[in-house]
Chains A and B, each alone.
Chain A
Amino acid sequence: MSRVVVAGYGPTAHRFVEALRERGFAGRITVIGEEPRPAYDRVALTSYLTGTSLEDLTYEVPEGVETLLGTRVTGIDREARVVTTAEGATVPYDVLVLATGSAPFVPPVPGAEHAHVYRTIDDLDAIRAASDGAAEGVVVGGGLLGLEAADALRGLGLRTHIVEMSPWLMPRQVDEGGGAVLKGHIEDLGLSVHAGAGVQEIVTADGRVTGLRKPDGTLLDAQIVVFSAGIRPRDELARAAGIDVGERGGVVVDAGMRTSDPAVYAIGECALAGGQVYGLVGPCNTMAEVAADRILGGTAVFEGADLSTKLKLLGVEVAQFGAMSGALDVTYMDPVGGVYKRLFISDDASTLLGGICVGDASPYATLRPFVGKPLPAAPADLLFTGTGAANLDLPDDAQVCSCNNVSAGAVRTAIADKGVTDVPGIKACTRAGATCGSCVPMLKQLLEKSGVEISKALCEHFTYSRAELFDIIRVRGVTTFSELIANHGTGRGCDICKPTVASILASLHNGHVLEGERAALQDTNDAYLANIQKNGTYSVVPRIPGGEITPDKLIVIGEVARDFGLYTKITGGQRIDLFGARVEQLPEIWKRLVDAGFESGHAYGKALRTVKSCVGSTWCRYGVQDSVGLAIALELRYRGLRAPHKLKSAVSGCARECAEARSKDFGIIATEQGWNLYVGGNGGFKPRHADLFASDLSTDELIRTIDRFLMYYIRTADRLQRTAAWVESIEGGLDHVRDVIVNDSLGLCAELDAQMAHHVTTYEDEWRATIEDPEKLSRFVSFVNAPGVPDPSIVFERERDQIKPMVVTP
């Protein structure tokens, strides 16, 4: 087998080439894709409109895979085994894989040519462009994709209608009762639902959409219409080449994904497998794996797929698994709380057949693996309490991850044989949980039951995690390390637990970091309120809030640097770092800086560093808000706030984002209406873009949200865990964080607000306090028995007119 050509480059094609490479295929692989970009995550498509970048959504092209993008295969010469592209180029193949996907179905109604569809990045760009100036939109189709599209229109600020042919929404996933509850949720969000309705025509004036007329004559005003009413397999290529296709479309394949031409395979939404076309990511991934296995001589079989789904649309959890009917059923319905749960059971009440959930999908993760198996507990317990379900023992053949078809047995094998001890390990080893993530709670449970002891111990002195220590210190009112370790630890601590406890004490009490016993807990940077450098000297960074500084203060920094012979460099956080100070020089340097009105920049602390800003609406012709003013206010509010790790922030005055706010722990981007808040970004070893957390906030709302975000992070994160890693590891993710700090789901907000208020009112500049305290100052000497003597081991040479440390061989 020397050359595999793939027609189409969507997620299924991507999975296929990955699978081929992983299985050791050494030949040539060429992928020909219609879109001008590699495959991207279509499940997360809607997030593209709310700030996720195309880059974040795009899959990496596996090494050695050739791509022809922005073109498509237009013909197959099966005799010669050559495909022709739209440009007339020819590409020979030994095996051809059709992964051409599907096209949105657009009913042939008058005006349909003015409607949008919802499938590709280009479609979304077009919808975004058309939403400019529009007030209302209609989505035709109330299924899974239709609701996604409706969510997107709503996110673009449009009053949104949903038109669905069936008598209720999501007819493929929920029954009439569930549909009613779902409709209630969606209408509560301000969307209009028109179920049992079709489309008469799309009304236009001067080539622009003005509305949609229903068959009963009613006109819905709208400037955008999006069709999301089902998909049709793109089988035209196979059809033209004489390969068998189904009566209602789809390239006919056998259980090994092979078409009627043995050299041609079809996978994904274009394939008709077992008489069915599959539009969900899980079955499509399985087809990709099966095809890869077969091409390499394997015997894998596609046996149809579980069409179970669990998703959160417009904030509503919807899940369906197994059958949607049965001899017996148990239903739980809470119209007030908007919860509907129904289980289907065999006539002898012994076997679980399926279930439907709206408003609370928690039974999905625990019960789906039991479909077709004996009921693991009384139906009422399973539906109502949820607790009965939490401790179920899954059979080995129960499917845990439906996206990647991973069984409980496979996860157990990974734990037992490969020494996997955590969820990321399971993801890497089995792919379970790597796509939609809904089975992650199940994976954790399997880990726990396997007896894997996940040590949360901070170090040999404490068996607790940082978050647990935080709670102990907070709840018991602990104020010293000695008290904590005497009652809750062993030994006398180390360079791991001491700074951690120092940080917690500082977050909670905000006393001076060098006061009393706390001085002995600090890392050298905090102990000398400066950043140690490779030769044992320190660097000094005065705070320059928002990066704004007067010429007079700038001159003072220059004079101090010149007088003490320091190396100066502009930092990435819009301030100035002065290098090469010996410990005994630090108080003199800071005396000069404090007298000129500077204060500590906390560059040495696991604390707020800077809030960077662009110049904003004051000067910039594009700016829509005063980004500098906000950055200064935020930097002054959170200065000195000790956290599990450093905190960086930035404020951009418009969507051009010159302050690079999305690379920060909390970044703010101005909008016409207020501020968008992004959280969980960082540069560093593993860069991550911040996620949109809340939109169009007023300044007061913004500050309250950041207050709570920071305090909740400080309370629950691990030691040295940046917000990016915290957001990714916290159970329930960003949705959970939003629930806690916006909806106050844990009843914590008042406490978080009070803690931040305490920080803000008790803040004092620790450098000013230090130079006013002779006892603290006395520690700033190189030699205790020769206070005036500088350390002779510190020597400099010159480079580009400044000092640099001279490397002295010890």
Chain B
Amino acid sequence: MTVPTTAPVSWTTVCDYHVLLPERGVCALVDGEQVAVFRTFDGAVYAIGNLDPFSGAYVLSRGIVGTRGGEPTVASPLHKQVFSLVTGACLDEAGAAVPTYPARVVDGRVEVAARAALPEQSGPMGSGRRLVDAP
């Protein structure tokens, strides 16, 4: 169920872009929520929830970044389920997903938008809400 919202997007500065190493993640606190922020090999920046829905541990920022069929991904460091960095969907288990957040680079700084400001729908794991739009 998609609920449109009119609230303005509020961006949080996470770190300098150069702090993000290619194909590694960091975790940031954005409005009190743990967000995993990644830089892929082509330089793009993605943000997803840091909570691994399978283990209940906040660890996704520490997973290995790669690709599956060209789509950028991260694998949970605990049990290796792979999530799309674009949609947040788990590519190994249909129905599971993590939230995604808009992320951008402005003046050499990485910014992530708080999730509360965005359209949302209920996540199938009951563990979070999955956003319909990609960053």
Contacts and interface: CB of A to CB of B under 8 A. Distances in A.
B13 interface: yes
Given A784-B19, A784-B26, A786-B29, A534 B78 contact: yes
A783 B28 contact: yes
A495 interface: yes
Given A520-B24, A523-B77, A785-B15, A494 B62 contact: no
B90 interface: no
B21 A784 contact: no
A495 B56 contact: no
Nearest to A794: B58
Interface stretch (A143-151, A186-194, A331-339, A802-810): A802-810
Interface string B13-38: 11100010111101111000010010
Contacts of B62: 524, 527-528, 532
A527 B65 CA distance: 13
Interface in A776-792: 778-779, 781-786, 789, 791
Nearest to A459: B66
Please tell me the size bucket of the interface on B.
35 or more
Contact of A495 (B24, B51, B58, B82): B82
Chain A interface, DSSP helix/strand/loop, else mixed: loop
Contacts of B82: 494-495
B78 A785 contact: no
B77 A517 contact: no
B70 A536 contact: no
Interface string B66-80: 111110110101101
Contacts of A519: 21, 24
Nearest to B19: A784
Contacts of B28: 783-786
A793 B58 contact: yes
Tell me which of A519, A527, A534, A810 has the highest count of chain B C-beta atoms within 10 A of its own C-beta: A810
Interface in A441-487: 460-461, 482
Contact of B14 (A785, A789, A808): A785
A485 to B, nearest CB: 9
B121 interface: no
Contacts of B70: 491
Interface in A758-805: 778-779, 781-786, 789, 791, 793
Nearest to B41: A492
Interface in A471-519: 482, 491-495, 497-499, 517, 519
Nearest to A791: B58
Contacts of A525: 77
A535 interface: yes
A810 B51 contact: yes
Contact of A536 (B53, B58, B68, B69): B58
A522 B21 CA distance: 13
B2 interface: no
A476 B82 CA distance: 31
Contacts of A784: 14-15, 19, 26-28, 37
Tell me which of B15, B65, B72 has the highest count of chain A C-beta atoms within 10 A of its own C-beta: B65
B6 interface: no
Contacts of A523: 64, 77
14 contacts: A491-B70, A492-B40, A493-B64, A494-B67, A519-B24, A520-B22, A524-B59, A525-B77, A534-B55, A534-B78, A781-B26, A783-B27, A784-B26, A785-B28
Interface of A: 460-461, 482, 491-495, 497-499, 517, 519-525, 527-528, 532, 534-536, 778-779, 781-786, 789, 791, 793, 807-810
Q: Considering the complex of A and B, which 9 residue pairs feature the smallest CB-CB distances, nearest first? A: A524-B77, A495-B75, A494-B66, A536-B57, A784-B26, A520-B23, A491-B67, A495-B64, A810-B56
Interface of B: 12-15, 19, 21-24, 26-29, 34, 37, 40-41, 51, 53, 55-59, 62-70, 72-73, 75, 77-78, 80, 82, 127-128
